[in-house]
Structure formats: structure tokens, C-alpha cells
Chain A
Amino acid sequence: MTNDNVIVTQALRKFYGTMEAVRGLHLTVGRNRITAFLGRNGAGKSTTIKMLLGMERPSAGTGTVLGKQITDPEENRELRRRVAYVAEDKPLYGYMTVEQTIRFVRSFYCDWRADIEKRLLQDYELPLHRKVNTLSKGMRTKLSLLLAFARCPELMIVDEPSEGLDPVAIEHLLQALVARSAEGVSVFFSSHQIAEVERVADQVCILEKGRLLVDASMDELRQFYRRIDLVFSSLPPECEFQISGVERIQTSGRQMCVFASSNADAVIQRAHEWNAVSVEVAPVGLREIFLKTVEGN
């Protein structure tokens, strides 16, 4: 691992019985960046995160987080001290009050910031003396976020951070993630809210059925991904467009839609060679990239 990467995995695999949840994952997450981890339900995102944090033992492969081996219990314990984690279901002890939960978590970390804790308690309007099991889903999410944001970790791993939050709280959360990144904290977060991801992420990783299909910066995605709508005077030759960089082709009568991750110019040239009547090139948003990528697999 170099100092530029906070997470590196090599051929990471996880089996549950005969079901392979993560299939030879090679993942690299850069330092001081916001990296989004996208995928459908059951794609293997949470399993990967659990393996990174030592909650699940990989069936094969290796990985490091902040330079620490994830499969070594001692090293993993050390890395957990330096990582702030918000789990997918926002699990908290229902029998503790908000105050007890904060006091409990605070005791494990020396990077706790009492000033941030105080400010977030006010911002989130969390009732200190109420038991966690009486809180709404949104409140539980806020408490989970407080427990992560009241620290100054090197890396934040956040699984579905906006779940249960209202639009105002989501906005604050996104701003907080960007602010943390600007302070030098690396952020690795999974989300189904693609519009949010598109706004804040520097890097996007798309996982499908345990495999990493896309690992690119937002700039690269914006620069290279294109949708090319073509109309021909006769039935188009689909096989002629299966060239490097073309991810997906949809044909409907004389119309053809080519989805390319690169090499759009070659597709356009090929379209002209085949006398396309109309050629329209459009940049593609992250939502469409995600849908085309996962549906294509």
C-alpha cells in the first residue's frame, strides 16, 4: 500500500455457504477523497465494509486499511481506533439513553471532540435522556452520525448515511462530508441516493454481484461516458458497433442507442461510415451510468 491509499484490497472474496457475496474484489480508495461505493441491494457493499473492519473474515484475498492488515485481529483493532464507522442499519443499544450512548462510545476514542459533540447535539436536537429504542429512525441516524462526526478520524466509512433523514438534514450531512474531506479526512461511503453521490463524490466505485465494475473519478465519468443515439435508414448492424469502450447497445427498429464508457469518437465515426441519418451525442449522468452498468451485468 502506498500512502496515497487508505483502503486496498486484493482478490477479496467472501462465501456464505455456496453463495459468493464478494468475488475477487480489487479495490483502491484514495486518501483525502470522497469515494462513493454504489451497488444494488445484495451487491456486496456491506459485506465488503464488514470485512474491512474485521467483522467478517474474508474467505480469500487480502486487504489493508490505513496500512493495517484487515485479517490480523490486533492490526484490525488498531485500525478501528482510527476509523469512524456508521453502519447500514444504524445499530445502537436500545437500552441506553442518548447520553449513555455518547458517553459509552466517547470512552473508546482519544480523538473525540467535545465541541463538535455539543454543536451536533444542538443541531440534531437529540433528546439526551431518551432511550435509543424510543427514537425515530431519523433520530437514530442522527445519533449514529454524531458518534462518527464528533471524532477526528483518518477515515470515515459510512454505510447509507442519509437513510431516514429529512432533506434539510441530508443537506447538512453532505456539507459535513465535504467539510471533513477538506480537513483531510478520507471518506468512503455507500449510498443508493445517486443524486447525493454525484454532488459530493470525487471517486465512484460500482459493485455488482460482488465484482467491481466501475472505478473512476467523477471527472473521468463526466469526460468519457456518453450516450450516442443513432438513426439509420435501414436496420443497423449492431455487431459493427461492438468496439472497445462500448458498454451496451440497444436497438429498436432503425434506432440504436450506444452507451460508451470511452471511445465515443470511434462510435461516431463508425456511425458515419454506416450512413447514419442522425447522430446525437449526450453526456451521461451518474444515475444512467449506474443503471446501464448494473443492468448490463
Chain B
Amino acid sequence: MLWYKAWLETRSRFLASLATLTLFSAIFVHHAQGLLRPEWKSDFNRLLFINQQFLVIMWVLAVVLLGMGGLIPEKSVGTSSFTLALPVSRARLLGVRVGMGVLEAIVLAVVPWLAVFLVVSLARNRISIIQVVSYILLLVGGGTVYFAMAVLISSLVAGEYAAPAVAYGIVLLTAMLFDAWLVRLTCGDW
């Protein structure tokens, strides 16, 4: 039943994120591929790459939101004593929360790309399954770091809004640092 609790706690955030990511990907790819000529094969791949860029941003924002929760936020809303009175170890409480978050994060990575796959197939364009799987693995593999960071922050920072604010601040900071590093790398100064 702890899984059920974790699901109830995150389902609105998860479903809203899933709907946003899926609809965005499907509509973006559907609309953009209509503008391409059939012979522009490299541009079609570039289109999928751009979609992945947008997805990465939205996915990271969504998983940071999914990582929020746990005993510290429960303490601020006054329900932590109810949770802690249950005959369950704190490790299990954390484990279930992380497990549910990771599962939801994987679904958030898979479903939008399935929608893209469907849209592209319906338009009779060719799409490489390996390319889609690579994008999904990149999302989950790299993005889970942000999820772990969100779990850590929500376990350290009290306050319903303070923890997401700090987490998003760190996401922004890392993005800026990564961007600067990329620029220096491509300019050959590194």
C-alpha cells in the first residue's frame, strides 16, 4: 500500500506531465513533418533531434517535480507523524518513493516517443527504432541524475515551495554551466 500512497501523491503531477510531453511531441512532430519534403531525409532526423531537445528540457522539469515529496514536506503539512507511526522503516518509505518516481520517469520518457513513433508511422515516414530507443535511454540515463538531485533536495530543504525552487535553481545553474562548457568546447578553447 505504500506504492499506492506514492502513486496517489504523485499522480496529478505525473499525469499532467505525461499529457504535456506526449501532446507536445505528437503535435510538434506531426505539424513539422508536414512542412518537410519527402526527400529531406536528414532534415527529418534533425526534426526528431529538435523534438528530443525540447523533450529533455520538459522531462527534466517534470522529473524534478516528481522527485519532490517525502518526510520533510510531510512535516511541513503535518502528516509526517501519521507516516512515521506506521510499522515501516524509513528506508522502505524512501525506497518506495524513489521506485515510484523512477517508474514514472521511465514512462515519461517512453510514452512521448511512442506517440512520436505512431505519428511518424501514420504519416508513412521511416523512423529508426534504434534512434528512438537511444533517445529514451539518454533521457532516462542522464535525466535520472536530476531526479536523484530532486529527491536529495526534498530530503534536505523544508517548505512546500522552497524545495522545488532550490531544485529548479540548481537545474538552471547546471544547464548554464553545461552550455558554457559546450561553447568553449566547440570553440576549441577547452
Bind each other: yes
- Give the contacting residue for B78; candidates A81, A89, A107; CB below 8 A: A89
Residues in A with CB closer than 8 Å to B80 are 55, 91
Taken together as a complex, chains A and B put the C-alpha atoms of A46 and B87 apart, in Å, by 19
Q: Contact residues of A with B, CB < 8 Å? A: 50, 53-55, 73-74, 77-78, 80-81, 85, 87-89, 91-96, 100, 103-105, 107-109
Interface of B is mostly: helix
- Give the contacting residue for A55; candidates B4, B8, B84, B88; CB below 8 A: B84
Are B87 and A78 in contact (CB-based, < 8 A)? yes
A-B interface, 3 closest residue pairs, ranked by CB to CB distance from nearest: A81-B87, A107-B1, A91-B82
Does B185 have its Cβ within 8 Å of any Cβ on chain A? Answer: no
Taken together as a complex, chains A and B put the C-alpha atoms of A105 and B84 apart, in Å, by 12
29 contacts between A and B (CB under 8 A): A50-B81, A53-B85, A54-B84, A55-B80, A55-B85, A73-B89, A74-B89, A77-B87, A77-B88, A77-B89, A78-B87, A80-B85, A80-B86, A81-B87, A87-B81, A87-B82, A87-B85, A88-B81, A89-B78, A89-B81, A91-B82, A92-B79, A92-B82, A93-B82, A95-B8, A104-B1, A105-B86, A108-B87, A109-B87
Are B81 and A55 in contact (CB-based, < 8 A)? yes
B4 to chain A, nearest CB (A): 7
Residues in A with CB closer than 8 Å to B89 are 73-74, 77
Taken together as a complex, chains A and B put the C-alpha atoms of A93 and B86 apart, in Å, by 13
Does B43 have its Cβ within 8 Å of any Cβ on chain A? Answer: no
Which of B4, B5, B84, B88 gathers the greatest number of chain A CB atoms within 10 Å?
Answer: B84
Type the 1/0 row for B87-115, where 1 means its CB is closer than 8 Å to any CB of A: 11110000000000000000000000000
Taken together as a complex, chains A and B put the C-alpha atoms of A235 and B150 apart, in Å, by 72
Taken together as a complex, chains A and B put the C-alpha atoms of A239 and B9 apart, in Å, by 64
A58 to chain B, nearest CB (A): 15
Residues in A with CB closer than 8 Å to B77 are 94
Residues in B with CB closer than 8 Å to A104 are 1, 4-5
A43 to chain B, nearest CB (A): 18
Taken together as a complex, chains A and B put the C-alpha atoms of A274 and B136 apart, in Å, by 94
Which of A50, A87, A91 gathers the greatest number of chain B CB atoms within 10 Å?
Answer: A91
- Give the contacting residue for A108; candidates B1, B8, B9, B79; CB below 8 A: B1
Taken together as a complex, chains A and B put the C-alpha atoms of A93 and B79 apart, in Å, by 7
Taken together as a complex, chains A and B put the C-alpha atoms of A95 and B9 apart, in Å, by 7
Taken together as a complex, chains A and B put the C-alpha atoms of A55 and B8 apart, in Å, by 24
Are A96 and B1 in contact (CB-based, < 8 A)? no
Nearest A residue to B89 via CB reads A77
Are A53 and B87 in contact (CB-based, < 8 A)? no
B142 to chain A, nearest CB (A): 31
B13 to chain A, nearest CB (A): 12
Residues in A with CB closer than 8 Å to B81 are 50, 55, 87-89, 91
B177 to chain A, nearest CB (A): 36
